[in-house]
A and B are shown apart, each in its own frame.
Chain A
Amino acid sequence: KAGVTQTPRYLIKTRGQQVTLSCSPISGHRSVSWYQQTPGQGLQFLFEYFSETQRNKGNFPGRFSGRQFSNSRSEMNVSTLELGDSALYLCASRALAGEVTGELFFGEGSRLTVL
């Protein structure tokens, strides 16, 4: 079974640009969450999507947005990039098929550098 796939793995942007990151969850997983990881702030929750609807949102400005498609694939977008947006962006999926608990399965991440 393929794991969580994130693309691109690495990218470089300049301030003011926008970026779109993609995440394909494990087959059958319907929930996708996004996290940002920086050396200073560690891992921080961005948002969670399920059935194409945002179900939970972290404390990030409106420049950070996401969406989920009918096949559960998800994208996140960051507009008007700032230097502080340089980070590893991690996507995680989980199965919610009647389980009491469902651990998160993370992808390898997309490393964004803003110059």
Chain B
Amino acid sequence: DAKTTQPPSMDCAEGRAANLPCNHSTISGNEYVYWYRQIHSQGPQYIIHGLKNNETNEMASLIITEDRKSSTLILPHATLRDTAVYYCIVRVDFGRPGNTPLVFGKGTRLSVIA
């Protein structure tokens, strides 16, 4: 079972920041928070991941609370092409084969509106 809780859907106006929340209250100390998204009819796409510190890349920012029980994915300037299902996943990852696989929940369906 997925160890995260996300709202089923959200809307965001084009050009505004999209803030997608995720609760992971049972996260362990060695579990990372991963975000993936899936645009309709495509395979999931990796966005970002983090352990404790906030992270930023060219796609998004990840804000993890100090107690690590929740996080927020921020798309700073949402476009229509960001409309997708966003998945928040927690897992241990040491880069070895045979790790606990990614367990996808139902995610958040983000609709960016013009």
Interface residues of A (CB under 8 A from B): 4, 30-31, 33, 35, 42-45, 48, 50-51, 55-56, 58, 90, 92, 96, 98-109
Contacts and interface: CB of A to CB of B under 8 A. Distances in A.
Contacts of A50: 97-98
A46 to B, nearest CB: 9
Given A42-B104, A104-B102, A96 B97 contact: yes
B95 A100 contact: yes
B44 interface: yes
Contacts, number: 64
Interface residues of B, number: 24
Contact of B94 (A51, A100, A109): A100
B95 A98 contact: yes
A31 B99 CA distance: 11
Interface in B47-106: 49, 87, 93-106
A62 to B, nearest CB: 19
Interface of B: 32, 34, 36, 42-46, 49, 87, 93-106
Given A31-B97, A101-B49, A42 B106 contact: yes
Contact of B101 (A4, A48, A105, A106): A48
A109 B41 CA distance: 9
B87 to A, nearest CB: 8
Contacts of A44: 104
A55 B71 CA distance: 30
A103 B34 contact: yes
B46 A105 contact: yes
Contacts of B94: 100
A102 B95 contact: yes
Contacts of B97: 30-31, 48, 50-51, 55-56, 96
Nearest to A56: B98
A5 B52 CA distance: 34
Given A33-B102, A45-B103, A101-B95, 9 more contacts: A35-B104, A42-B104, A42-B106, A50-B98, A58-B101, A96-B96, A102-B95, A104-B36, A106-B43
12 contacts: A30-B97, A42-B104, A43-B44, A55-B98, A56-B97, A56-B99, A58-B101, A103-B46, A104-B46, A105-B46, A106-B43, A109-B43
